[in-house]
Structure 1
Amino acid sequence: MKHGLPVAYPGMKIGLFGGSFDPAHEGHAHVAETALKRLGLDRVWWLVSPQNPLKPKSSPIEQRLASAHELAHGRQMVVTDLESRLGCAFTYQTLRRLKRLYPGVRFTLVMGADNLANFRKWRNWREVARAVPIAIVSRPGAGPGLRMSAPKGWSYLNARHNFQSSTALRTARRRPVAKPGRK
């Protein structure tokens, strides 16, 4: 990464996989790997967000970057804090900047189907929907929604489910551990 930004060249196909990754887990890796393989992407960039505006305060970004690095295996997965570096708080801002910084690169927004439920709450979601193709990877608990009627430029990737979730992992971390032999 030159100056903290990932390298990409015109003609490359890059999946943009944004999130809090608080913490990153196998479900995230599954979504990224499914998109990489099924869409024939050259890379998937894990965009570790400074702070998801739709979620409570995240853990420190350094901790979330480290968590994502542990799971993003291989040279085709790139973990980056480019949204922080570019001063972008919202996906539409990120897409605008990336299209200017990387002319000729074909970006696809990648998300788990569980995130689709909140898509209309995203700032300027219509602009996001028009800006780049969007690939939705099936996730547990998220119905098939788009499978039969995906908007133009969108694709629904039905895949095996990985049941891990960041919310469940954070909850388990906060739960007190019972000490054997104490009453």
Structure 2
Amino acid sequence: MPHVERGMQVGLFGGSFNPPHAGHALVADIALRRLALDQLWWMVTPGNPLKSVRELAPLAERLRLSEAIARNPRIKVTAFEAAYHVRYTADTLALVREKNPGVDFVWIMGADSLRDFHRWQRWREIMMTFPIAVIDRPGSTLSFLSSVVAKAFDHARVDEAYAPRLAHMRAPAWTFIHGPRSLLSSSAIRRQEGR
């Protein structure tokens, strides 16, 4: 895991990044700025339980490409989940909490992930572990109103004006952050490349 100090605000941005692209970098930059983060961990997952392993490029390649795109020095590209043999986000967050006492974390996801978040293993546990920032994505702006998770945790939604304080809030707490959006998507890039 990247080095952090007590009292820091750190964003956790996980995904398969298959491949990583400028849209991911935009989400990371928006999160750093709007959440007043000291660091953002760009966590390249070894696999995705909701996706076929066959469609994933090798982890080393996805790490290399992520490092090439994530140029902000406050972004730390990591694949620590592979070293700890962690498969599910709930387990990742529990591990991060255990290993980093005194650090304030925020889970970061694109709005397109919020739409299907209720399909994730132990999604309610994830909501109760760290505050969550949902970053707007094209075609997913209304997911913060219509998704199963948004409805179930409507009482925990925080106005985006308070985003800089989100890391200090007790879960469940989540916000939806509007802003510039990129039309890029990993699946569209794979289709163009014939993968």
TM over 0.5: yes
Alignment of 1:13-28 (within 5 A): 13-28=9-24
- The 1:124–1:98 alpha-carbon spacing in structure 2 relative to 1, beyond 3 Å, is same
Give the unaligned 5+ runs of structure 1. Answer: 176-183
Q: TM-score, normalised by structure 2?
A: 0.84
User: Helix, strand or coil: the match of 1:159?
Assistant: coil
Q: 2:8 aligns with which of 9, 12, 16?
A: 12
What is the distance in 1 between the residues matched to 2:85 and 2:6? Answer: 24
- Inter-partner Cα distance in structure 2 for 1:151 and 1:173: 43
Distance 2:64 2:28 in 1: 17
Number of equivalences: 171
Alignment-derived partner of residue 154 in structure 1: 174
User: Where does 1:161-172 land on structure 2 (aligned, <5 Å)?
Assistant: 161-172=181-192
Following TM superposition, the consecutive aligned residue runs of length 4 or more in structure 1 with deviations greater than 4 angstroms are 147-151
Report which of the two has the higher share of helix: 2
Q: Aligned equivalents of 2:104 and 2:43: distance in 1?
A: 16
Q: What one-letter code is carried by the residue in structure 2 that aligns with 1:11?
A: G
Q: Say if 1:147 and 1:156, in contact at 8 Å, map to a contact too.
A: no
Match of 1:117 among 93, 115, 122: 115
CA contact (8 A) 1:83 1:94 kept: yes
Tell me, yes or no, if the aligned pair for 2:111 and 2:144 is still in contact at 8 Å.
no
**What is the SS of the residue equivalent to 1:156?**
strand
Q: Equivalent pairs: percent with the same residue?
A: 39
| Residues 45-124 of structure 1: pairs in structure 2 closer than 5 A | 45-57=41-53, 58-124=56-122
Q: Answer whether contact 1:138 1:144 (CA < 8 A) is retained.
A: no
- Post-superposition CA distance 1:55-105 (Å, at most 9, x none): 122111001101111111121000000111111101000111111100011
Q: Secondary structure at the match of 2:139?
A: coil
RMSD value, Cα: 1.5
Report SS of the residue matched to 2:144: coil
